[in-house]
């Protein structure tokens, strides 16, 4: 595959760099249909669709639903471009985003005495432009759902391009970065060609699939501290646009749906239940090949050996490690090099 390019948001655990490996593993089993169970940025689904597969996908989060809908169902470029031109020229107006996520605030900072000045993520001018653009989409009538989704994706991409952060929306940088000082512009998402697919939104365990898939690709979360609903809560709020009340007790204020201080984090995040969760997950599908992504990280709730053992209950299991872009077969005899970070647990039936 030539280097596949599709615009999408910055995301912890995005598999953008592993697309060639995922494609190769999919091609090996003569598949025509793929299910992407934890679609995140939508980049894996988009790549597979553009390579001719019929792709159905799912994710828990609202913003991921938008990315997947746009990548798998497409949109009308002339209609979307026309609206984006209007959105780029709108008068900036202060609204929910500007009031809550622009300028600076005095706040407590971990391990420091007193109050300190910190940015809230967006320049006021950018927040106002995004407020105006998102309100414009909300008021549109006579525009199809898929074109509205593409416009919402454009607004999220716009925010992502100027948000003053390093890699999530839980905090923002002390000083305004070069990217955050640029003026936001709204550009169309990447239009993917191929068989039309479907995107679902929900807990994977509650999802009832309409059919079986040749390949099931699973990239669930299992790292303490990486809760996607709180890491990308502003993208979710832009997707839903319900302008919720926020809890100011966080470095970047969050809506209740992104606050987990007194709530359980969900499946895969507890060491006590993670193995049961993976067992239940693998048991859920019929497939020719299941591909499970595993990234080695210090705060994981499980490890490769445990996953490999669970997988062996469901078919013929192999583990591949990805190093320097080459996919080589992993064996437990291999000394686990520090460089080995990305793995695929592959189950064949
Ligand atoms: C590692 S990320 C997936 C990244 C994705 N493969 C990509 O390349 O962008 C894990 C995803 O699982 C989703 N997720 C977490 N718990 C879930 C659940 N119970 N059901 C469905 N999706 C879930 C998160 O919202 C997050 O997008």
Q: Residue 164's closest CA among 187, 188, 189, 182?
A: 182
Q: Which long-range contacts (CB under 8 A, 24 or more apart) does 78-86 make?
A: 79/143, 79/144, 79/147, 80/147, 80/150, 80/151, 80/154, 80/188, 81/188, 83/136, 83/137, 83/140, 83/143, 83/147, 83/151, 84/151, 84/154, 84/186, 84/187, 84/188, 86/136
Which of helix, strand or coil describes residue 275?
Answer: helix
Task: Name the average pLDDT for the chain.
Answer: 92
Domain-terminating residue out of 239, 261, 283 = 261
- How sure is the predictor about 325, in pLDDT bands with cuts at 50, 70 and 90? very low
Same-domain pairing of 172 and 136: yes
Q: What is the pLDDT of residue 105?
A: 86
Q: What does the pLDDT average to over 290-307?
A: 93
64 lines ligand 1 (CB under 6 A): yes
**In this model, does residue 204 exceed pLDDT 80?**
yes
User: Does the residue 344 lie in any domain?
Assistant: yes
With a 6 A CB cut-off, is 40 part of the ligand 1 pocket?
Answer: yes
pLDDT tens per residue across span 97-123:
999 999 998 887 777 888 888 899 999
| Cβ of 44 less than 6 Å from ligand 1 | yes
Q: Is the CB of 41 under 6 A from ligand 1?
A: yes
Residue 176 lies in a domain: yes
> Do 127 and 251 share a structural domain?
yes
Show Cβ contacts of residue 312 under 8 Å, excluding neighbours closer than 6 positions: none
CB 213 within 8 A of CB 204: no
What is the residue range of 24's domain? 1-72+192-220+264-349
**Is 225 inside a domain boundary?**
no
Rounded Cα distance between 8 and 19, Å, is 14
Q: Which atom of ligand 1 is nearest to the CA of 267?
A: 19
- Residues 39, 88, single domain; the answer is no
Residue 314, domain CATH: 3.40.50.150
- Assess whether pLDDT exceeds 60 at residue 331: no
pLDDT of the residue at 100: 97
- Are residues 100 and 204 both part of a single domain? no
Residue 27 lies in a domain: yes
Would you say 255 and 308 are in contact if contact means Cβ atoms under 8 Å apart? no
238 in Cβ contact with 160 (< 8 Å): no
pLDDT digits (tens, 9 = 90+) for 153-185: 999 999 999 999 988 999 999 899 999 999 999
pLDDT of residue 324: 47
pLDDT above 80: residue 2: no
Higher-scoring residue by pLDDT: 263, 222: 222
Q: What is the distance, to the nearest Å, from the Cα of residue 218 to the centroid of all Cα atoms in its chain?
A: 13
Is residue 116 included in any domain, yes or no? yes
Give the per-residue pLDDT at 192: 98
CB 54 within 8 A of CB 210: no
pLDDT tier at 333, thresholds 50, 70, 90: very low
Q: Per-residue pLDDT for 326 more than 50?
A: no
- Residue 339: the pLDDT is 63
Domain count, the chain: 2
User: Any idea of the CA torsion for 299, 305, 306, 312, to the nearest 10 degrees?
Assistant: 150
Q: Are residues 186 and 202 in the same domain?
A: no
Q: Tell me, yes or no, whether 168 and 31 share the same domain.
A: no
Under the phi-then-psi rule, with left for phi > 0, alpha for psi from -120 to 50, and beta for the rest, what region is 306?
Answer: alpha
Does the pLDDT at position 282 exceed 50? yes
Residue 226 in any domain: the answer is: no
Q: Based on the domain organization, do 164 and 215 belong to the same domain?
A: no
**What is the DSSP code string of 178-247?**
TGGGSPP---PPPPPPSS--EEEES-GGG---SS--SEEEE----BTT--HHHHTHHHHHHHH------B
Q: Which long-range contacts (CB under 8 A, 24 or more apart) does 100-106 make?
A: 100/246, 100/253, 101/127, 101/234, 101/252, 101/253, 102/126, 102/127, 102/128
Q: Based on the fold, state whether residues 208 and 287 are members of the same structural domain.
A: yes
Q: Whose CA is nearest to atom 5 of ligand 1?
A: 40
> Mean of the pLDDT values across residues 275-279?
96
The whole-number average pLDDT for the span 2-17 is 92
Centre of ligand 1 to C-alpha 40, Å, is 5
- Closest ligand 1 atom to Cα of 203: 20
String of DSSP letters for 290-303: EEEEEE--TTBSS-
Give yes or no: residues 50 and 119 share one domain. no
pTM score of the predicted model: 0.95
- Do 287 and 298 fall into the same domain? yes
Is the pLDDT confidence value at 197 over 50?
Answer: yes
**18, 26, 59, best to mutate for ligand 1 pocket (most atoms within 8 Å of CB):** 59
**Block residue for tokens 């970065």:** 177
Residue 146 falls inside a structural domain: yes
Residue 271 predicted with pLDDT over 60: yes
Task: Provide the pLDDT for residue 259.
Answer: 92
> Is residue 132, in this structure, part of any structural domain at all?
yes
User: What is the full DSSP assignment across 56-87?
Assistant: EEEESSHHHHHHHHHHHH---HHHHHHHHHHH
pLDDT at res. 338:
60
Q: What is the dihedral of CA 27, 29, 34, 37, to 10 degrees?
A: -100
As a whole-number percent, the residues of the chain with pLDDT over 90 amount to 81
Strand, helix or coil at 330? strand
Mean pLDDT, range 64-72, rounded to an integer? 98
Distance CA 132, CA 151 (A): 13
Same domain? 28 vs 96: no
Q: Are residues 88 and 149 in the same domain?
A: yes
């Amino acid at each position: 595959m030539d280097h596949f390019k599709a615009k999408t948001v910055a995301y912890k655990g995005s598999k953008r760099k592993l697309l060639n490996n995922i494609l190769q593993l999919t091609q090996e089993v003569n598949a025509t249909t793929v299910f992407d169970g934890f679609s995140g940025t939508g980049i894996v689904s988009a790549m597979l669709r553009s390579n001719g597969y019929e792709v159905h996908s799912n994710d828990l989060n609202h913003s991921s639903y938008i990315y997947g809908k746009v990548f798998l169902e497409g949109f009308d470029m002339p209609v979307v471009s026309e609206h984006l031109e209007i959105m780029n020229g709108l008068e900036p107006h202060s609204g929910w985003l500007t009031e809550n996520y622009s300028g600076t605030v005095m706040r407590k900072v971990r391990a420091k005495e007193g109050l300190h000045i910190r940015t809230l993520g967006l320049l006021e001018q950018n927040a106002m432009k995004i407020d105006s653009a998102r309100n414009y989409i909300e008021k549109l009538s006579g525009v199809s759902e898929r074109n509205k989704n593409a416009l919402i994706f454009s607004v999220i991409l716009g925010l992502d391009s100027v948000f003053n952060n390093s890699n999530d929306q839980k905090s923002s940088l002390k000083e305004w970065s070069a990217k955050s000082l640029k003026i936001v512009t709204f550009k169309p998402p990447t239009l993917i060609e191929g068989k039309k697919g479907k995107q679902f939104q929900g807990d994977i365990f509650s999802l009832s699939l309409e059919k079986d898939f040749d390949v099931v690709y699973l990239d669930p979360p299992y790292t303490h501290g990486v809760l996607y609903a709180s890491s990308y809560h502003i993208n979710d709020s832009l997707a839903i646009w319900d302008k919720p009340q926020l809890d100011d007790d966080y470095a970047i204020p969050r809506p209740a749906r992104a606050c987990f201080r007194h709530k359980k984090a969900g499946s895969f995040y507890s060491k006590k239940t993670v193995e049961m969760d993976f067992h239940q997950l693998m048991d859920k599908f019929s497939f020719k090949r299941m591909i499970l992504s595993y990234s080695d990280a210090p705060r994981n709730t499980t490890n490769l050996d445990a996953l490999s053992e669970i997988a062996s209950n469901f078919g013929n299991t192999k583990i591949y490690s990805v190093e320097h872009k080459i996919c080589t077969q992993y064996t437990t005899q291999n000394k686990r090099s520090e460089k080995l970070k990305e793995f695929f647990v592959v189950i064949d039936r």
